[in-house]
Structure 1
Amino acid sequence: MGLALHTTRQDGRATIAARGSIDLHSSDELRSRLAELVDGGEREVVVDLTAVDFCDSSGLNVLVRAYKHARAQNATLTVTGAYGRVENVLRTTGLDRFLIGGAAGEGVS
């Protein structure tokens, strides 16, 4: 299964709902969408991974780079809905500490 992305905007927040797998073949699409939102002036971006069943290192790289890019633009990027294998990989890598819930004051340098 590939990756489908659906963007909604509500109450000053842009949410990207992802469905499928985030891997080497699909991560560029997510990267482009995230950059488009932040560069377009969105200040709060949420990536909903509820319907994502797999995320490899290229997907993690996209999320980390988008997080850093958002911070550089005085915006926030958080992840919600991660469960199962996706949640496990975020926790194992420690990325959950700053991506899930957007803990203030923490980050990746």
Structure 2
Amino acid sequence: MPSPLLTIEVTRSEAGRARLRLTGELDFDTAPELTEIAEALRRDGCHELEIDMDGVGLCDSSGLSALVVIHRRGSGPIRLTGVRGQLQRLLDRTGLSEVLDAEAVDARDVG
């Protein structure tokens, strides 16, 4: 059952690619939903995943763990876009910003 705390919009682009746009909180309660959707996309042939984090207001250790699990279980790259604030600092401190190919939002571009 989808969580009211996290919305995941999936857009399939060219063959083998999909974009997941997250809005809400990526935490203990919602991280399993993201993992399940990513695994289903990969089973359906989407091996390259772009995960848009611009709408994520909170990401705890469970959310971070879900991103690592998606990366490790995948047969293709994942790329995080729209990363900012607390999540960017967390990814930088753990060294995962490079592993997960995280693209930070330029603070000058934020209104």
Normalising by structure 1, we get a TM-score of: 0.83
- 1:56 corresponds to which of 48, 55, 60: 60
Amino acid at match of 1:40: D
Q: In 2, distance between residues paired with 1:81 and 1:88?
A: 13
Number of residue pairs the alignment of both structures matches: 99
The aligned residue for residue 47 of structure 1 is 51
Amino acid at match of 1:30: L
Q: In 1, distance between residues paired with 2:39 and 2:87?
A: 22
Partner SS state of residue 83, structure 2 = coil
The aligned residue for residue 30 of structure 1 is 34
Structure 1 contact 53–86 (Cα < 8 Å) conserved: no
The aligned residue for residue 109 of structure 2 is none
Deviation at 1:100, TM superposition (A): 2.2
- 2:10 corresponds to which of 7, 11, 15: 7
Q: In 2, distance between residues paired with 1:50 and 1:100?
A: 15
Identify unmatched segments of 5+ residues in structure 2. 104-111
Pairing 1:21–2:22 present: no
Amino acid at match of 1:14: A
Percent pairwise identity: 30
Deviation at 1:88, TM superposition (A): 1.3
Identify unmatched segments of 5+ residues in structure 1. 103-109
Amino acid at match of 2:101: I
Structure 2 contact 31–66 (Cα < 8 Å) conserved: yes
Deviation at 1:98, TM superposition (A): 1.2
Deviation at 1:101, TM superposition (A): 4.9
The runs of 4+ residues in structure 1 deviating greater than 6 Å are none
Structure 2 contact 23–53 (Cα < 8 Å) conserved: yes
